[in-house]
Amino acid sequence: MALPKIVSGFTVLPVAYPHSRHIIYAKAHASSSKSSKSTFPADRTLFLVNVPVDATERELSLFFRYAGTVERVIFDQNDLDDTELQGDASGSGSGSEDEDSDAPDSSMEVDTEENAETRPRKNRKDKKRDEPAPPTVVPLPTSPHRTLRKTGAVAHLVFLDSSSLSKALTPLPKARSWPSSEELRGLARYRALYDEQRPPLDIVKAHADTAMELYEFELAKSRRQSAYRKGEAIVDEDGFTLVTRGGAYGKTLGGGVGVANKQFQATGKTGSKKKKESKEKASFYAFQKAEKQRKAIMDLKKNFEADKARIEKLKQSRRFKPY
């Protein structure tokens, strides 16, 4: 059965795979917003629907190479930056003004640098010592993989000239084969992704060690920049030393002055635990053990006689007496 050439205003573009066939629907891009016109020129932008889920920018550029040179490929309009959506119209007009305004500043910077060189050393300001550079974290090995998108994904192709758009919208006489690229696909992609997520142990160890070094460096830097110092007193506006609890290092600031705990401040009692009363140990002596055993035997006999009497009473109360 032959495929229709146009469906609801979209040109049908069949794609041939080695063991299957795919359909892409193409249409000239049309937008009413001014910001979109600067990003997607109406006379050079091709709107595609049902793009293959594993398609890349290079593969789409090679597929539409028969129509013309593709300037760029945009898969999702939401991924664009705000500056791209606003367009380059305002930026081109203000660029010359910015360059003119920056010209005198550059000359002033040159003058200041020359004055600094001719200035005597004793008048120069001493520069602060550079802080030690933070340790670099050893990254885990990564490799680029093709992005898998949702079924029925859309894309915008911006051609270099307007004549390429009309060629791309011309129905193809037969299915065009999908170009191949160096990026892995199918099972090979998942194998490479599996190996990437399980790097060698020595690389993982190096990554963890450098990450801990960076954490300790940042922690030490924050402590140096902190307003609290161990052993330094906190003085209020009137000049009195404040006695505070805890602190940046878990000790009282200001020379280690002791402070009562919260329980003592609330109740006036210390938090010492009550001493347990000593109890006499049972079965410590030999006569205590013998007395305990004799009492247990007497209780056992007493319970046995009580159970025996209760059973006799139950037998007499039975209505049916076979014997």
Of 45, 46, 6, 3, nearest to 22 by C-alpha is 3
Cα–Cα distance for residue pair 174/164, rounded to 1 Å: 19
Cβ atoms of residues 177 and 22 within 8 Å: no
Among 98-102, 173-177, 305-309, the minimum mean pLDDT is found in 98-102
Interstrand relation of 70-74 and 176-177 (parallel, antiparallel or unpaired): unpaired
pLDDT digits (tens, 9 = 90+) for 45-57: 889 999 888 888 8
Indicate whether 296 pLDDT > 90.
Answer: yes
Report the half-sphere exposure of 302 (CA within 13 A, side-chain side).
6
One-letter amino acid of 16: A
3-state secondary structure of 15: strand
Of 129, 131, 133, 130, nearest to 213 by C-alpha is 133
Instruction: Report pLDDT for 298.
Output: 95
Indicate whether 213 pLDDT > 70.
Answer: yes
Phi, psi of 86 (to 5 degrees): -75, -25
Burial label for 39, CB within 10 Å (0-12, 13-18, 19+), is buried
Instruction: Report pLDDT for 259.
Output: 56
Confidence of residue 127 (pLDDT cuts 50, 70, 90): very low
Indicate whether 257 pLDDT > 70.
Answer: no
Kind plus residue range of the DSSP H or E element containing 72:
strand 70-74
- What value does the mean pLDDT take over residues 101-106? 44
What Å distances lie between residue 58 and 46, 63, 74, 134, 183, CA to CA? 16, 9, 12, 39, 10
Instruction: Report pLDDT for 96.
Output: 43
Instruction: Report pLDDT for 241.
Output: 77
Tokens of 164: 């390429």
- What value does the mean pLDDT take over residues 238-257? 57
One-letter amino acid of 240: F
Tokens of 263: 């329980």
Instruction: Report pLDDT for 275.
Output: 62
Tokens of 283: 């079965």
